[in-house]
Amino acid sequence: MRRVPLAERFGISGRGLVALLPYLWLMLFFVVPFVIVLKISFADVDLAIPPYTPLVQWTEKNVLAIKLNFNNYEFLFTDKLYINAFLNSIKVAFLSTLLCLIVGYPMAYGIARSKPTTRNFLLLLVILPFWTSLLLRVYAWIGLLKANGVINNVLISVGLIHEPLTMLYTPFAMYVGIVYSYLPFLILPLYANLEKMDWQLLEAAEDLGCKPWQAFYKITLPLSRNGILAGSMLVFIPAVGEFVIPALLGGPNALMIGRILWDEFFSNRAWPVASAVAILLLLLLVPFMMWYQSIQARESAGTR
Amino acid sequence: MNQRRSVFIISCLAFGYAFLYIPILSMIVFSFNASKLVTVWDSANSPTLKWYHSLLGNEEILDAAWISLKVAVINASGSVILGTLAGFALARFTQFRGRFTLNAMATAPLVMPEVITGLSLLLLFVAMEQLIGWPAGRGITTMTMSHMTFSMAYVTVVVQSRLATFDTALEEAAMDLGARPLKVFFVITLPIIFPAILSGWLLAFTLSWDDLVISSFTSGPGSSTLPMVVFSKVRLGVSPEINVLATLTIGTVTLIILGVSLWMARKHKLPKPAA
């Protein structure tokens, strides 16, 4: 008789065992934390360690009382600051994604259509900044944009301007920083998509009398739809909650929700409010994340 | 390609690469600038290495770098194990209970805003400490576990896509010849996906080495990482030492990336059979 391995007796196959470790890890460190955030978003701020009131309490008569406190959410919806920050974050992320597309699409296209030897080199040049610290690359823009920074110095010495331009700590600086940091995330999936393109379709269209821009609009653009969407999601979703770039380049008035969450947590020690902000942000982003997943599934299935 | 179109595309590429590289080049150039004003070139005394000396004598930065290094190495090694298991399960087993959940959990950290991940992990550690007394306080351990959670997602994607490009014929042949699944994995699969594992390790290392937000949430007193120290310095303004740090980082990354891609390109070419 075959000896049944221990795991199988519990209904776990050898295959299940391989998946079990990462599965448990992600459950504990990725899913459970959200449940706790949800729980604490219903708690009250308290001068204690940790700084919030317990949700479930034994009252004097041995009755288990659950106290759900919706004040944090009410607060977020009544105080204009939070609503404005949410709306502004969506606007900034959307415009940054659009700018990334304008800069990144021709680049991805150019890389995909270049000779295989140059292609690898060009790709490497896109990936390289992605491997160097985001923080340091954002810092580089402070040196370029500030009043006595490189750009102002160059413009003044050429004679284009006489007074230095105010660029640092403005929305402009924030957009530059976001587009700059997230550009590789847009180019790479778009390139992966364009690389699989059958360019003979374009030649055929032009032979049949299509102008180049018509051929691009009717063939290349629709066929690269999944690449555009996947790249855009990789920019848009993290950009909505971005903290570092608005904090360093955006100036004190840059209302971004990631920054509000950070300040609520670190400056005000209002953990329940920060948790409520996180839950709302998550609710806002989950549809986009699911959209991204379905695009990925379609892309790997090879259908367009 | 059409002449006019190719001129347009080439100028777009030139603009794009200038945009990507001018900030990096400016940091490298100004790291040799003698002036404390950082962006005002002091042509009388530059180029100089004085900021390199001062960075290498800066205890605060060196201590933080040492902490970052420890976290990054443990994180990279742990994420490679978890990520390879997850990537292997997702690529090779088309059906098992929990496949959908595992896939969703393994890709969500890629796009999750860091402030959410950071906050949720911190609250988990606080709750765990209250409940079972572990981890007592926060520091290197909690940071490493947090980094592993998002790094393993990247490793999973890299390993999974590498496995997807190889069909299962070799693995099946080995099984048919009587090799046990574990042996097949170590003798056949592992060497095939080794480049993916290596790039996954490097990626996980870099992600951890660069992380500011999640570390800030999950670190404790006395365990400031390099990005945390850099962030607090940069908030006060530009500093010549940060340019030096950036230059050293860029130099190291460039060398490693070039080395690995050359090595992979050579390895790719070698086994070509004579036609």
User: Would you call B257 helix, strand, or coil by DSSP?
Assistant: helix
Q: Which segments of B93-189 does DSSP mark as H helices, in order?
A: 99-111, 114-132, 140-164, 169-176, 181-184
Q: Which of B109, A249, A45, A275 is nearest to A260 (CA)?
A: A275
| Total number of domains constituting chain B | 1
Query: Would you state the pLDDT for residue B275?
Result: 39
Helices A150-158 and A134-145 meet at what angle, rounded to 10?
A: 30
- Contact indicator for A41, A275 with CB cutoff of 8 Å: yes
Q: At residue B144, what are phi and psi to the nearest 5 degrees?
A: -60, -45
**Whether the complex's predicted ipTM surpasses the cut of 0.85:** yes
**B131 and A CB contact within 8 Å:** no
**B80 and A CB contact within 8 Å:** no
- Contact indicator for B55, B62 with CB cutoff of 8 Å: no
Q: Which of A189, A200, A226, A220 is nearest to A302 (CA)?
A: A226
Query: Would you state the pLDDT for residue A6?
Result: 52
Query: Would you state the pLDDT for residue B95?
Result: 76
Query: Cα distance from A175 to chain B (closest Cα, Å)?
Result: 13
Q: Report the alpha-carbon distance of residue A79 to residue A70 in Å, rounded.
A: 14
Judge: B246–A109 Cβ closer than 8 Å, yes or no. no
- Which residue in chain A has the smallest CA separation from B104? A293
Among A133, A137, A202, which would you mutate to test the B interface (most chain B Cβ atoms within 10 Å of its Cβ)? A133
Q: Which two tokens stand for residue A77?
A: 């919806």
**CATH (domain of B164):** 1.10.3720.10
Higher model confidence: residue A78 or residue B35?
A78
Q: At residue A57, what are phi and psi to the nearest 5 degrees?
A: -135, 150
Judge: A129–B24 Cβ closer than 8 Å, yes or no. yes
Query: Cα distance from A110 to chain B (closest Cα, Å)?
Result: 6
Q: What is the DSSP string of A114-169?
A: S-HHHHHHHHHHHHHHHHS-HHHHHHHHHHHHSTTSHHHHHHHHHTS-SS----TT
Q: Report the alpha-carbon distance of residue A188 to residue A165 in Å, rounded.
A: 34
Q: How far is CA A234 from the centre of its chain?
A: 6
* Other beta carbons within 10 Å of A109: 22
Chain A residues with CB-CB distance to B12 below 8 A: 103, 106-107, 110
Residue B166 belongs to domain spanning: 57-269
Per-residue pLDDT band at B201 (split at 50, 70, 90) = very high
For residue A55, the surrounding DSSP H or E stretch is none
Contacting residues for B133 by C-beta, under 8 A, at least 6 apart: none
User: For residue A234, how many C-alpha atoms fall within 13 Å in the half-sphere facing its CB?
Assistant: 23
Domain assignment present for residue B142? The answer is yes
Query: Cα distance from A206 to chain B (closest Cα, Å)?
Result: 10
Q: What share of chain B is helix, strand, coil (3-state, %, to 5)?
A: 75, 0, 25
Cβ-nearest to A29 among B27, B121, B206: B121
Domain assignment present for residue B173? The answer is yes
Give the model confidence (pLDDT) of B104-155 as tens digits. Answer: 888 888 888 999 999 999 999 998 988 888 888 888 999 999 999 999 999 9
State the virtual CA torsion across A116, A117, A121, A124 in degrees, nearest 10: 50
Query: Would you state the pLDDT for residue B51?
Result: 86
Give the model confidence (pLDDT) of B114-126 as tens digits. Answer: 999 999 999 999 9
Give the mean model confidence (pLDDT) for residues B215-224: 90
Chain A residues with CB-CB distance to B217 below 8 A: 265
The 10 Å CB-count burial string (b at 16+, else e) for A127-155 is: ebbbbbbbbbbbbbbbbbbbeebbbbbee
Q: Which of A273, A270, A243 is nearest to A258 (CA)?
A: A243
Query: Would you state the pLDDT for residue B2?
Result: 55
Give the model confidence (pLDDT) of B234-255 as tens digits. Answer: 888 778 888 899 999 999 988 9
pLDDT over 60 at B270, yes or no: no
Judge: B231–A244 Cβ closer than 8 Å, yes or no. yes
Q: What is the DSSP string of B161-206?
A: HHHHTS-THHHHHHHHTT--HHHHIIIIIHHHHHHHHHHHHHHHHH
Judge: A34–B249 Cβ closer than 8 Å, yes or no. no
- Contact indicator for B5, A212 with CB cutoff of 8 Å: yes
Domain assignment present for residue B155? The answer is yes
- Please give chain A's pLDDT, 304 residues, in tens: 455 555 555 555 666 778 888 999 999 999 999 999 998 888 877 766 677 777 766 666 667 666 777 888 888 888 888 999 999 999 999 999 999 999 999 999 999 988 888 888 899 899 888 888 889 999 999 988 988 888 888 888 888 888 888 888 889 999 999 999 999 999 999 999 998 888 888 888 888 888 878 888 888 888 889 999 999 999 999 999 999 999 999 877 788 999 999 999 998 888 889 999 999 999 999 999 989 888 888 877 754 4
List beta partners, residue A56: A66
Please count the residues of chain B.
275
User: How many residue pairs from chains A and B have C-beta atoms closer than 8 A?
Assistant: 250
Judge: A22–B106 Cβ closer than 8 Å, yes or no. yes
Among B25, B119, B130, which would you mutate to test the A interface (most chain A Cβ atoms within 10 Å of its Cβ)? B119
Query: Would you state the pLDDT for residue B271?
Result: 53
Q: Report the alpha-carbon distance of residue A252 to residue A171 in Å, rounded.
A: 11
Domain boundaries, chain A: 72-301
User: For residue A213, how many C-alpha atoms fall within 13 Å in the half-sphere facing its CB?
Assistant: 2
Query: Would you state the pLDDT for residue A1?
Result: 46
- Contact indicator for A111, B12 with CB cutoff of 8 Å: no
Q: Report the alpha-carbon distance of residue B18 to residue B35 in Å, rounded.
A: 26
- Contact indicator for A171, A256 with CB cutoff of 8 Å: no
**B28 and A CB contact within 8 Å:** no
Domain assignment present for residue B261? The answer is yes
Domain assignment present for residue B2? The answer is no
Whether the bond between A116 and the residue before it is cis, its omega within 30 degrees of 0, is no
For domain A72-301, give the CATH superfamily.
MetI-like (1.10.3720.10)
